[in-house]
Amino acid sequence: MRYGYFDDEHREYVIEHPDTPLPWINYLGSQDYFGLISNTAGGYSFYKDPRLRRLIRYRYNNSPLDSSGRFIYLREDSPSTNPSVPLFWSPSWQPTRFPLDEYECRHGMGYTTIRSRLAGIEASTRYFVPLGENLEIWELTLSNLRDEPVQLSVFSAVEFNLWDAMDDATNFQRNLSIGEVEVVDGIIYHKTEYRERRNHFAYLACSEPVVGFDTQREAFLGLYRGWDSPSAVEAGQLTGSIAHGWQPIGAQQVKIQLNAGEKKKVIIILGYHENPVDDKFDPPDSQTINKRSVLPIIRKYVQPEEVENAFQSLRLYWDELLSIFQVTTPNKHTNRMVNIWNAYQVMITFNLSRSASYFESGIGRGMGFRDTNQDLLGFMHLLPKRARERILDLAATQLPNGGAYHQYQPLTKRGNNDVGSNFNDDPLWLILSVAAYLKETGDWDILDEALPYDNQPGTEEPLYGHLQRSIQYTLDRLGQHELPLIGRADWNDCLNLNCFSDSPGQSFQTTANKEGKVAESVFIAGLFVLAAKEMMAIADHLGKAGHAEAYSKAVQEMVAAIWSAGWDGEWFRRAYDDFARALGSKENDEGKIFIEPQGICVMAGLGVEDGRAVQALNSVDKHLATTHGIVLQQPAFSKYYLHLGEISSYPPGYKENAGIFCHTNPWIMIAESMVGRGDKAFDYYLRINPSAREEISDVHKCEPYVYAQMIAGKDAPTYGEAKNSWLTGTAAWNYIAITQWILGIRPTYDGLQVAPVIPSTWDGFEAVRNYRGVRYEIRVKRKGQGNAVKLDVDGKPVRGTVIPQPADGVKKSRVVAWLGQ
């Protein structure tokens, strides 16, 4: 069953039922101010950091689901005599959940519009964040479709978070006494802690004259009532409460008179503002917020023309971003994911890593080191300048021994020790993101950027040196099979071979009670080969022949170690545990074969020439592939294994325990492309493509327009059900798999390569791609079977599959790729 449909022309997903199987969300904001918004206007907003600067509250494990967020209520001032019209209702359905005559939510690129109709009153609210501003706009358009005038009260409401979301949810003995607000000219300012160390506040403003307000939650709701039935809305008059402690909120009431057929706009603004530390108060010796710099912003955005201009700029911004790469293939799911939604999701994961979604609370994790480096892989072509900045931020958190903090806080850009370091794969991902940046931009100067270690001034070294240390970190930590030691975990956070965690609540990752000198990872070995090959190419380019040679030798040795201890006969093994026993081997009863080493080792080139790559991939097909995607391992762990850790803590079929962990599936797609099997690669691509799963939304449950981290595997009672949508490495890796490997349009150090490995039934496809200042119009035409490519560039045949650097001044180029023979 479907709950909506794709409107590809407007780049929107249109939801027709408010009660989707889970809240289906979207993101607002492009740079510093962000919001999550569901199809019924649930969600929350924050400035830069969802933990440390949260504007409004959200309760994750609440019931009913998704009942906190952005509230609007409509109430007829002269109540209708018609019993089917309620006294008041929510035009976004939540929180009153009164049945609407019509409902439609359109999630677009950085905005969401929710339109509904009840008893002849149409309400359409467009939510978005203007580019470059730290505020969100709720642009409500009311239309009276009746043939008589109507007098309405419109109520808007938010529940303020006292900034630090973790503290807000736990430290009640303090927090219930510190809440403070100001209300001036109908604008509500939330200023908890402004009197002391904060220089920021939030505000709620409205374009229409405010006839009533509330700032104390219980005055608005009434004691023991919920957001679905606020007593002040029921009474039709807000109470003018001023919050002193307890639960500060912002609620405003305006009155709108609409003649028959008339339309009116009400603009509501929720914003964040900072004042200079020494100019916080006005007058200076008072405790009153200085509003001189915020008022002009508020005055600007309560004007409909300014709002429309800001919306058009946002549209243009996305038009330009998405036009960098567009494709027309014979498959609609491919077209819409590549052209719209997958690129969009890549942007969202770049912005938020794994911090704030409907499954990630925004308080648990900062930006992951390995996650962010992988998110960057799909992002390079969109905004290379921001990618560059992010790479430098990441490298500056690297530790002097080459290792990495597992995560860092976006507000401070400092690594944090919440989950420690020594995830031994972490530093290698930095090499992959830098390599991708170089291939996209040709900006080799980035390697000369002097960056500190652990943000300590005085420790600066060029980025190239950081990459060298990443490699050295692995080489300094080899085990008895000459394979890399795994540390706390590798890519699979839940493979905790050095933490024998036996008490509830103990961390699986950081309760290290083994020395970490035995357990080895074949996955890191494969990743090392991939990264060290990039280092060979980089050193070569820089003319550092000695380095290139050393990396080449390191590659050969690691490859030899993989073949001698990491190959199981029909597939790559996964690891060696703390007792030096193989895992991911036919010797095991459970966990005989894992997906990760098959993907990464083939991507690193192992066995591609001699048939062993194909053998490993055939094993994946035979043991791991399902109709809903490829599961992580088989057989699933049926019980908890102390020596394996968190992976075996999940019930079979979920998450890392044999779930379809979507992040890993594109590795297999890439590997299949590398061995030339386009049909297989594309088949796997479609199995997890969210658009291709739209028809089974009642099974899949998550949004059909974005990837989820996981789909329950065949061992799970809820096989096929997705969880953890939005913030997942699946976004970047699928984007890479389809665009760079299956469609084969791939940046290299020397230029743009065109080497498709598409399904045999496709006649070809078309693409446009901006690359290093040139707009390439690419047509791939099949003339026979196979993947051989002959390129014509601007009408002339060229050798190889890389488009030669065009002459200076050339801005456009036509490329025809003849495929097959």
Angle at which helices 342-352 and 304-323 cross, to 10°: 110
Identity at 63, one-letter amino acid code: S
Q: In angstroms, give the least distance from the CB of 726 to ligand GLC.
A: 12
* Residue 778 to residue 754: CA distance in whole angstroms: 9
Q: Of 212 and 690, which CB lies nearer to ligand GLC in the complex structure?
A: 690
Structure tokens, 89 = 């209702």
Q: Of 729 and 759, which CB lies nearer to ligand GLC in the complex structure?
A: 729
Give residues 328-357 in contact with ligand GLC (rule: CB under 6 A): 354
4: part of which helix (H) or strand (E)? strand 4-7
370 binds ligand GLC (CB under 6 A): yes
Confirm if 725 and 354 have CB atoms less than 8 A apart. no
Helix (H) and strand (E) counts in the chain: 20, 42
Confirm if 462 and 450 have CB atoms less than 8 A apart. yes
Q: In angstroms, give the least distance from the CB of 561 to ligand GLC.
A: 23
Number of C-beta neighbours around residue 150 at 10 A: 22
Q: What is the contact mask toward ligand GLC in residues 496 to 525, using x (rule: CB under 6 A)?
A: -------------x----------------
The set of residues, in sequence order, having a beta carbon less than 8 Å from that of 119 and lying 6+ positions away, is: 80, 82, 84, 85, 101, 146
Q: Binding ligand GLC by CB under 6 A: which of 709, 725, 734, 801?
A: 709
Give residues 389-408 in contact with ligand GLC (rule: CB under 6 A): none
In the complex, residue closest to ligand GLC by CB: 493
Confirm if 136 and 28 have CB atoms less than 8 A apart. yes
What string of DSSP letters covers 101-115?
SEEEEEE-SSEEEEE
Q: Are strands 135-144 and 45-47 parallel, antiparallel or unpaired?
A: unpaired
* Residue 725 to residue 701: CA distance in whole angstroms: 10
What string of DSSP letters covers 606-665?
TTTTTSHHHHHHHHHHHHTEETTEE-SEESPP-S--TTTGGGGGSPTTSTTTTSEEGGGH
Of 366-374, 442-450, 739-747, 770-778: span binding ligand GLC (CB under 6 A):
366-374
Of 32-40, 44-52, 492-500, 773-781: span binding ligand GLC (CB under 6 A):
492-500
Q: In angstroms, give the least distance from the CB of 310 to ligand GLC.
A: 34
Active site residues: 493
Q: Of 253 and 509, which CB lies nearer to ligand GLC in the complex structure?
A: 509
Q: What sign for the dihedral angle of Cα 431, 435, 437, 442?
A: positive
Q: In angstroms, give the least distance from the CB of 321 to ligand GLC.
A: 25
Q: Of 194 and 491, which CB lies nearer to ligand GLC in the complex structure?
A: 491
Closest CA to 768 of 323, 448, 365: 323
Q: Of 49 and 182, which CB lies nearer to ligand GLC in the complex structure?
A: 49
Q: Of 494 and 602, which CB lies nearer to ligand GLC in the complex structure?
A: 494
Q: Binding ligand GLC by CB under 6 A: which of 180, 375, 440, 493?
A: 493
Give residues 371-390 in contact with ligand GLC (rule: CB under 6 A): 371
**What are the residue ranges of helices labelled H in 286-331?**
295-301, 304-323
What string of DSSP letters covers 233-251?
HHHTS------BSS-EEEE
Of 253-261, 489-497, 570-578, 633-641: span binding ligand GLC (CB under 6 A):
489-497
Structure tokens, 767 = 């693409």
Q: In angstroms, give the least distance from the CB of 489 to ligand GLC.
A: 7
Structure tokens, 781 = 């035409």
368 binds ligand GLC (CB under 6 A): yes
Phi-psi region of 569 (alpha: psi -120 to 50; beta: other; left: phi over 0): left
Q: In angstroms, give the least distance from the CB of 623 to ligand GLC.
A: 20
**What are the residue ranges of helices labelled H in 397-462?**
426-441
723 binds ligand GLC (CB under 6 A): no
Q: Binding ligand GLC by CB under 6 A: which of 124, 492, 619, 801?
A: 492
What string of DSSP letters covers 439-451?
HHH--GGGGG-EE
Structure tokens, 287 = 């405790």
Of 119-127, 178-186, 368-376, 496-504: span binding ligand GLC (CB under 6 A):
368-376
488 binds ligand GLC (CB under 6 A): no
Of 166-174, 386-394, 490-498, 763-771: span binding ligand GLC (CB under 6 A):
490-498
Q: What is the contact mask toward ligand GLC in residues 634 to 663, using x (rule: CB under 6 A)?
A: ---------------------xx-------
Q: In angstroms, give the least distance from the CB of 244 to ligand GLC.
A: 40
* Residue 507 to residue 504: CA distance in whole angstroms: 9
What DSSP designation does 277 have?
A: G
Q: In angstroms, give the least distance from the CB of 435 to ligand GLC.
A: 19
Q: In angstroms, give the least distance from the CB of 371 to ligand GLC.
A: 5
680 binds ligand GLC (CB under 6 A): no
Q: Binding ligand GLC by CB under 6 A: which of 202, 346, 446, 494?
A: 494
Contacts with ligand GLC, residue ranges (CB under 6 A): 354, 368, 370-371, 491-494, 509, 655-656, 709, 728-729
